[in-house]
Structure 1
Amino acid sequence: MAFDSLEQLGEALFFDVNLSKNRTQSCATCHDPDFAFVDPRETEVGSAVSLGDDGESLGDRSAPTAAYAMFTPGFEQLDEAAWRGGMFWDGRSAGLAGQAGGPPLNPIEMGMPDKASVVVRLKENQDYVDAFSTQFGDDIWASDDAAYDAMTQAIAAFESTSLFAPFDSKYDRFLRGEVRLTAEEELGRVLFTSQQFTNCNLCHQLRTSPIAQDETFTNYEYHNIGVPKNLVVREANGVKSPDLGLQANPSVDSPKAAGRYKVPTLRNVAVTGPYMHNGVFEDLRTVVLFYNKYNTTSPDRQINPETGKNWAMPEIPQNLSVMVLTEGPALDDRRIDALVAFMKTLTDQRYEHLLEE
Structure 2
Amino acid sequence: MPIFTSSRFRRAVLPVALLLALAAPPAAAGDPPTREKLGEALFSDTALSFNRTQSCADCHNPMAGFADPRDGGVGGAASVGADGRSIGDRNAPSAAYAKFSPAFSFNAKGRAVGGQFHDGRAATLKEQAGGPPLNPGEMGMASKEQVRQRLAENPSYARAFVALYGAGVLDNADRAFDAMSDAIARFEETDAFAPFDSKYDRYLRGEYKMSPEEDLGMTLFFSTQFTNCNLCHQLKRIPASPGETFTNYEHHNIGVPVNAALRAANGKGPKHVDHGLRENPAAASAAQDGKFKTPTLRNVAVTGPYMHNGVFQELETVVRFYNSYNSRTVKGATNPETGKPWGKPEVAGTLSMTELETGPALDDRRIRALVAFLKTLTDARYEHLVK
TM-score, normalising length from structure 1?
0.98
Q: Does 1:179 align with 2:208?
A: yes
Q: Does 1:158 align with 2:187?
A: yes
| Structure 1 residue 233, shift from structure 2 partner | 0.3
The 2-side partners of 1:271 and 1:141 are apart by: 38
| Structure 1 residue 316, shift from structure 2 partner | 0.5
Q: Which runs of 5+ in 2 are unaligned?
A: 4-31
The 2-side partners of 1:200 and 1:300 are apart by: 21
The equivalent residue for 1:322 is 353
**Structure 1 counterpart of 2:63, which letter?**
D
Identify which of 144, 151, 158 aligns with 1:115: 144
Deviation string for 1:204-234 (max 9, x for gaps)? 0000111211000000000000000100000
The runs of at least 4 consecutive aligned structure 1 residues that moved more than 2 Å come to 78-81
The 1-side partners of 2:240 and 2:115 are apart by: 25
Q: Which runs of 5+ in 1 are unaligned?
A: none
The 2-side partners of 1:161 and 1:332 are apart by: 40
Tell me the SS of whatever aligns to 1:131: helix
Identify which of 83, 92, 96 aligns with 1:54: 83
Q: Does 1:170 align with 2:166?
A: no
The equivalent residue for 1:304 is 335
Q: Does 1:26 align with 2:52?
A: no
The 2-side partners of 1:114 and 1:314 are apart by: 37
Preserved CA contact (<8 Å) 1:89 1:262:
yes
Deviation string for 1:308-338 (max 9, x for gaps)? 0111000011100000000001000000000
The 1-side partners of 2:108 and 2:353 are apart by: 18
CA RMSD of aligned residues (A): 1.1
Residues 335-346 of structure 1: matches in 2 within 5 Å? Answer: 335-346=366-377
Tell me the SS of whatever aligns to 2:324: helix
Q: Does 1:83 align with 2:129?
A: no
Deviation string for 1:230-284 (max 9, x for gaps)? 0000001011420000001122121010000000000000000000000000000
Residues 72-221 of structure 1: matches in 2 within 5 Å? Answer: 72-78=101-107, 81-221=110-250
TM-score, normalising length from structure 2?
0.90
| Structure 1 residue 79, shift from structure 2 partner | 5.5
Q: Does 1:270 align with 2:294?
A: no
The equivalent residue for 1:16 is 45
**Structure 2 counterpart of 1:191, which letter?**
L
The 2-side partners of 1:120 and 1:68 are apart by: 31
Aligned length: 356
The 1-side partners of 2:201 and 2:110 are apart by: 34
The 2-side partners of 1:180 and 1:78 are apart by: 37
Tell me the SS of whatever aligns to 2:355: helix
| Structure 1 residue 101, shift from structure 2 partner | 0.2
Preserved CA contact (<8 Å) 1:72 1:86:
yes
Residues 342-357 of structure 1: matches in 2 within 5 Å? Answer: 342-356=373-387
The equivalent residue for 2:27 is none
The equivalent residue for 1:251 is 282
**Structure 2 counterpart of 1:338, which letter?**
A
The 2-side partners of 1:347 and 1:333 are apart by: 22
The 1-side partners of 2:310 and 2:327 are apart by: 24
Pick which of 270-279 and 244-253 moved more.
244-253
Percent sequence identity over aligned pairs: 58
| Structure 1 residue 116, shift from structure 2 partner | 0.6
The 1-side partners of 2:324 and 2:110 are apart by: 24
The 1-side partners of 2:109 and 2:35 are apart by: 40
The equivalent residue for 2:256 is 227
